[in-house]
Amino acid sequence: MATLELVPVHTRILTDKDDIVEAIAHYAGDKIGPEDIVCVAESVVAITQGHFTRPEELKPTWQARFLCRFVPAEGSMSSVYGMQAAMELEGKWKVMAAFFAGAIAKIFRKNGVFYQLARQASLTDDVTGTMPPFDKHIVYGPKNPNQVAEKIVQRTGSYGAVVADVNDLKRSAVLGHSRGMDPKKIAKILIDNPFGNDSQMTPIVIIKNFASVSEGR
């Protein structure tokens, strides 16, 4: 009987000069089968899309300076530049409204409202949040992750594909997926963070035999 196997795939450093779909085909094409799911780290997808900036290119507003004081230190939004980056995409007044809505929701013991309303706040990686040389950049969330996943399937012939946001704090989310995928199920499989976006340079993970295991074969 087939079993699930997570296979990290080593690459060189990928940049905005690369096409993520072609990079996956190049580095992982010979390892991908028709029963496998291709998973790619969201930060690398965003980098290849050129969806990043440098802190010195941002001009923090008083709104960003004010709100970042109330975010726990481990979060990207605790940085004035991370907060400003989210405001650049979402709009400063939308982020402020989302923040105050989240604060009110916490009174009623409902967490995560701020990040639900201001999606870029949850997707933005502050400096040091990704691999060199992009550890000096603020990396936004990927653009059109569902479309990226579909293109990966078309190019590689895989059973499915996902763009995932996973970290070492047991937080796992699928931001985009090809048709027929169950994002919550895939997120659980990736919960132990098999990716290596730092010196390991393994931003691609293949879930081997997914179709057979799902069907009980």
CATH for 185? 3.30.1330.100
Structure tokens at 36: 């496998």
Angle ∠(157,160,166) on CA atoms, nearest 5: 130
Q: Find how far residue 86's CA is from the centre of its chain.
A: 15
Q: Do 100 and 60 share a structural domain?
A: yes
Last residue of a domain, one of 139, 164, 183: 139
DSSP secondary-structure letter at 141? P
Question: How far is residue 94's CA from residue 176's CA, in Å, rounded to a whole number?
Answer: 24
Last residue of a domain, one of 108, 139, 170: 139
Q: Do 167 and 152 share a structural domain?
A: yes
Query: What angle, 0 to 180 degrees and rounded to 10, lies between the N-to-C axes of helices 145-156 and 20-28?
Result: 40
Q: Do 150 and 132 share a structural domain?
A: no
Q: Do 111 and 186 share a structural domain?
A: no
Q: Do 134 and 56 share a structural domain?
A: yes
Q: Do 76 and 28 share a structural domain?
A: no
HSE toward the beta carbon, residue 43, CA cutoff 13 A: 28
Q: Do 108 and 163 share a structural domain?
A: no
Contact 25, 121 (CB under 8 A): no
Q: Do 130 and 61 share a structural domain?
A: yes
HSE toward the beta carbon, residue 164, CA cutoff 13 A: 35
What is the count of structural domains for the chain? 2
pTM, whole model, 2 decimals? 0.86
Q: What is the pLDDT along the chain (217 residues), one digit of tens a residue?
A: 678 999 999 999 899 999 999 999 999 999 999 999 999 999 999 999 999 998 999 999 999 999 999 988 877 888 899 999 999 999 999 999 999 999 999 999 998 899 889 888 888 887 655 566 777 888 899 999 999 999 999 999 999 999 999 887 788 999 999 999 999 999 999 999 888 755 568 899 999 999 998 876 6
Q: Do 82 and 29 share a structural domain?
A: no
Q: Do 57 and 46 share a structural domain?
A: no
Alpha-helical (H) ranges within 29-125 are 42-48, 62-67, 80-90, 92-107, 113-117, 119-123
Q: Do 133 and 57 share a structural domain?
A: yes
First to last CA, the chain: 6
Question: How far is residue 126's CA from residue 122's CA, in Å, rounded to a whole number?
Answer: 11
Q: Do 77 and 24 share a structural domain?
A: no
Query: Which domain does 64 fall in, by range?
Result: 52-139
Last residue of a domain, one of 139, 165, 195: 139
